[in-house]
Amino acid sequence: MYLEWKDYYINYGYLKTIIENIINKKPNSEKIFVKELEKSWIKYYNFASQLIDSALESDLNKNKLVDIFKINEFININQEGFRKIIKKHDKNSNYSLYPAWKWKIKSNTFEKLFPTIKKISKLYPRDEHLESKIDNSSFKRKSIKYWVEKKNIIPVICHIIPNLPIYV
C-alpha cells in the first residue's frame, strides 16, 4: 500500500468485521455490509479515475512509468480486495453478491493507462537504421508468446518500452 493513498484503499478489515456480524446474525448486518461495500467501491473507483486522468493530462516524461506502476498496483490491490471480501461474504451469507459485482471486480480499469504508455513510448529513441532496413511489404514473422496475468500487463509493457518502443 502507498501511504499517501491509504484513505482510498478498500477497508478490508472493517468489511470483514461486518461479515462477522452477519455470521453472528446481528440485525441489519447485510444492509450495512452492502452499504459499506458500495461506499468503498465509489471511494476507490473515483480516486483511481482521478489518478488515471492526472496521468493522462500531466507532462509526460520517462519517469511517468513509475507513476503508472503505482496506479496499476493500487488498482490490482483494490480489485483483489473486493473479490476476496465478496467471496468471503457469499460463503458466510444466505445472499450472493458476486453475480451483481462480477462486472466491477473484473473491470479492466488499467486499460485507460494505455494511451499514456504509448505517449511515453514515443519519448524513447528509435533505431533509425533498423527502421530503414525493415521492409514492411514482405517479411517473415517469428513470434514467441507468453501468458501474462492481468495484474502484470502494465508492468510488462513498461519494462519493454524502453528497449522496444511501441510501433503502430
Which tens digit of pLDDT belongs to each residue from 83-93? 999 999 999 99
How high is the pLDDT of residue 24? 93
What's the pLDDT band for 12 if we cut at 50, 70, 90? very high
- Mean per-residue pLDDT over the chain, rounded: 85
The answer as to whether 149 is a domain residue is yes
What pLDDT shows up at residue 38?
96
- Boundaries of domain holding 37: 3-127+142-160
pLDDT at 95 over 70: yes
Cell of 74: 493500487
- Written as nine digits, the cell of 83 is 473479490
Looking at residue 115, its pLDDT comes to: 81
**Which element (helix H / strand E) includes 75?**
helix 64-92
Side chain identity at 114, as an amino acid letter?
F
Residue 17 above 80 pLDDT? yes
**SS3 category, 135:** coil
Q: How confident is the model at residue 165 (pLDDT cuts 50, 70, 90)?
A: low
Give domain status of residue 135, yes or no.
Answer: no
Domain assignment of residue 132, yes or no: no
